[in-house]
């Protein structure tokens, strides 16, 4: 039953992001841009690095990191996103990005084949079980000393004071937008309560996921609002 629900969720995400591809590319998002910049900064690539971008979208991370890496494997569930990325890379004269249309849950790579795994505002769309599985597989794909860097919304379901502070701040921001913002508040309450589309977890939960599979040197940085960037290393 759970497997069927996860498969349905994956299909829904594919449809949603295929439809959103161009609007996602064209809509300014200063807060998200700050998180992207921080992920790139923390990644601090070596020229020989083999990199995977988990849920690459239209290349916000893959394209800048490809300028320093040896190769970037850009994976996304939406073929339209990958088409946009490929056009942008070609226009910039970048030839070391390989694209792959695949859900993260179905993705498999050779063990010890990567130096860096990155992702930005993608993993909160996965169920908690799927997040843990992606973290486990990523640990396996990384070489000893390899790193993971993830930007995402990170907060729980209102249990802690920090969670409540983030939720209240988001409600305040949307409420100022008038009827459109009120409608978004209602939609987000439904999504958050039913764990539909958006399924964020707290920094503490992310730390546990990383520690459970063996990551060390775990660090978190709050960039803007609910947006955090985590980094961790596979022991050498």
Same domain, yes or no: 178 and 138: no
Query: What's the token pair of residue 204?
Result: 């503490």
Same domain, yes or no: 146 and 170: no
Q: What is the pLDDT of residues 44-61, one digit of tens each?
A: 887 789 999 999 999 999
Quote the DSSP letter at residue 124: G
Same domain, yes or no: 90 and 185: no
Predicted confidence at residue 158, as pLDDT, reads 53
First to last CA, the chain: 39
> How much is the average pLDDT of 165-189?
61
> How much is the average pLDDT of 101-118?
96
Same domain, yes or no: 7 and 119: yes
Looking up tokens 């070596």 gives: 46
Distance CA(107)–CA(128), nearest Å, equals: 17
Same domain, yes or no: 35 and 73: yes
How many structural domains does the chain have?
Answer: 2
Same domain, yes or no: 107 and 209: yes
Supply the range of the domain harboring residue 88: 2-154+200-233
Same domain, yes or no: 139 and 24: yes
Indicate whether 190 pLDDT > 60. no
Indicate whether 5 pLDDT > 50. no
More confident residue, 197 or 129: 129
Indicate whether 39 pLDDT > 90. yes
> How much is the average pLDDT of 9-30?
59
Mean pLDDT of the chain: 84
CATH of the domain at 27: 3.40.50.150
Same domain, yes or no: 19 and 81: yes
* pLDDT cut 90: percent of the chain above it: 63
Same domain, yes or no: 104 and 187: no
Distance CA(111)–CA(138), nearest Å, equals: 9
Indicate whether 6 pLDDT > 60. no
Element (H, E) at 70: none
Indicate whether 164 pLDDT > 90. no
Same domain, yes or no: 32 and 140: yes
Same domain, yes or no: 170 and 221: no
Q: What is the pLDDT of residues 85-94, one digit of tens each?
A: 999 999 999 9
Same domain, yes or no: 148 and 179: no
């Amino acid at each position: 039953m759970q497997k069927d629900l996860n498969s349905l969720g994956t299909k829904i995400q594919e449809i949603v992001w295929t439809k959103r591809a161009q609007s996602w590319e064209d809509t300014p998002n200063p807060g998200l841009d700050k998180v992207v910049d921080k992920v790139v900064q923390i990644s601090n690539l070596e020229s020989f690095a083999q990199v995977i971008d988990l849920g690459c979208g239209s290349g916000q991370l893959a394209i800048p990191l490809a300028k320093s890496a040896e190769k970037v494997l850009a994976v996304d569930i939406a073929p339209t996103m990958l088409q946009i990325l490929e056009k942008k890379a070609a226009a910039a004269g970048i030839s070391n990005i390989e694209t792959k249309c695949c859900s993260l849950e179905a993705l498999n790579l050779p063990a010890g084949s990567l130096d860096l795994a990155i992702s930005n505002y993608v993993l909160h769309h996965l169920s908690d079980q799927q997040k843990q599985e992606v973290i486990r597989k990523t640990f396996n794909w990384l070489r000893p000393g390899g790193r993971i860097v993830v930007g995402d919304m990170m907060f729980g379901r209102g249990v802690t004071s920090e969670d409540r502070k983030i939720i209240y701040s988001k409600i305040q921001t949307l409420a100022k937008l008038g009827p459109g913002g009120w409608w978004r508040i209602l939609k987000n309450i439904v999504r958050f309560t039913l764990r539909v589309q958006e399924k964020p977890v707290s920094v503490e939960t992310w730390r546990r996921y990383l520690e459970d599979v063996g990551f060390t040197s775990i660090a978190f940085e709050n960039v803007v609002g609910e947006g955090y960037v985590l980094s961790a290393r596979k022991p050498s």
